[in-house]
Amino acid sequence: MPVWQQVYAEINDPNFVLICVAEDTGGEAVAGPIFDAADPTYVQVIDTDHIISSAFNFVNVPSSAWIDEEGRIVRIDEGTYSKIHEFGEGDQTITFGNDVYTPALKDWIANGADSKHVQSAATVTANIRDYTPEQFKADAAFRLGNLFRSHGENDKADQYWEMARALNPDSVNFFRQNLTLTEEGSAGEQFMTFMGEYVAQGKDYYRPLDIE
Amino acid sequence: MAENMMAFPELRHPFEKTPIHPTGSTTVLYQGNNITLGETGEGDGLLIRPQDLPRVNGFELKPEGACYQDRCVPLNDTLMAEQNGAQWFNLTAFADLMGQPYVADLDARVWSFAELPAKRENMMLNAMAPDFKISDRQGNVIRMADLKGKKALIVTWSSW
């Protein structure tokens, strides 16, 4: 999150709003310190019910929507990395992200509708995922599970989280949120297997980053 | 790697067992809101007092029907029920009519409603951002409508 604060400070435009949304059922206890470490001046939201992912039909984090002054979405659902990140050392180094997203964002803030990075409504609607009745219902089940979890009723919480998973198996968010409760955590063997199958089935968890 | 990628595993969901609502009440979940209803009607579906409808899903009853912004759904005998001389709005029949999925835990008296597909039409067809309402860490309520006149980047992330 510090990198987004840096980007926000560099843009420094009163007509630009940056809203960073933590999709975290663990709430303030887990997401709050990460926000605080960034000393942020942007809008910070801890979205325990994954309302924002649901509103824009996202299946993974980090994803995003660019919204213009009229409320029109001009880009959506791309892997939203503000720079190239590196974890680990030597042969174990993992890199992800890119160095083109932030310049594109800055170009849009500066040039608005004239930016070459603004997409047409047809392109944007093609990039918005369809949402089936089962996926809508999955959201309802997930939130029901969250309510039980927050009241200490973990058996019922598990029951409804599993229902959400079954109704929306493409949600990486639901899968990894569930994994936070396991010993191996959200990035262990189960996650790697899940993502391998996901990709092998030709599914995408972000839309292609169409920025040169 | 899992330990590096997932922050604060020891703090996850350390919630005490607490009542969801007062005994005999009913809870409705919708759009991140948690609404407690002290009184509901009898029957298989969820019958609510008509005056509770606005705080449940933003609709209100008018002569034209159940209305949200400029859209009204005409009422009929399925949507409105009379019991013991009182009028009730059948929220589950309304959801069925609108294609709005829901999940109920009848033992706990909790009904969780998904978004109304009609509220997403303008996004799916015209790329207009959907209505949402969410609170920031300071408790300020943010609605999509509040962002009009500014450019906005909404980014999701997670600690996991």
* Spans of all domains in chain A: 2-127, 133-200
Dihedral (CA of B102, A182, A19, A63) sign: negative
Lowest mean pLDDT among A23-27, A161-165, B13-17, B56-60: B13-17
* A2-127 CATH: 3.40.30
| Between residues B30 and A81, the one the model is more confident about | B30
Coil, strand or helix at B28: strand
| Between residues B12 and A63, the one the model is more confident about | A63
Residues 6+ apart with CB under 8 A from A104: A115, A117, A211
Lowest mean pLDDT among A11-25, A175-189, B29-43, B74-88: A175-189
**Among A66, A121, A137, beta carbon nearest to B103:** A137
Which ipTM value was assigned to this complex?
A: 0.94
At A113, is the pLDDT very low, low, confident or very high (cuts 50, 70, 90)?
very high
Evaluate if residue B108 carries a pLDDT over 80. Answer: yes
| Predicted local confidence at residue B13, as pLDDT | 63
Token pair belonging to B54: 């606005």
| Predicted local confidence at residue B92, as pLDDT | 98
Residue range A167-191: mean pLDDT, rounded: 88
Alpha-carbon A123 to chain mean position: 20
> Which residue do the tokens 């943010």 mark?
B142
Cβ contact A55–B149 (<8 Å):
no
| Predicted local confidence at residue A97, as pLDDT | 81
Closest to B155 measured CA to CA, from A58, A129, A125, A140: A58
Evaluate if residue B3 carries a pLDDT over 70. Answer: no
Residue of B nearest to A142 (CA): B112
Evaluate if residue A143 carries a pLDDT over 80. Answer: yes
Cβ contact A1–B155 (<8 Å):
no
Residues 6+ apart with CB under 8 A from A176: A186, A187, A191, B158, B160
pLDDT > 90 fraction of chain B, expressed in percent and rounded: 81
Evaluate if residue B101 carries a pLDDT over 70. Answer: yes
Token pair belonging to A66: 């660019």
Residue range A164-180: mean pLDDT, rounded: 91
Residues A169-200 as b or e (16 or more Cβ within 10 Å = b): ebbbbbbbbbbbbeeebbbbebbeeebeebee
- pTM (global) more than 0.90: yes
Closest to A56 measured CA to CA, from A144, A143, A125: A125
Residue of B nearest to A77 (CA): B155
**Among B15, B31, B137, beta carbon nearest to A51:** B31
A185 contacts in chain B (CB < 8 Å): 2-3, 5-6, 9, 160
pLDDT > 70 fraction of chain B, expressed in percent and rounded: 91
Cβ contact A149–B13 (<8 Å):
yes
* Cα of B85 to nearest chain A Cα, Å: 33
Q: For chain B, what is the mean pLDDT? A: 91
| Predicted local confidence at residue B44, as pLDDT | 82
Lowest mean pLDDT among A114-118, A187-191, B143-147: A187-191
A35 contacts in chain B (CB < 8 Å): 137
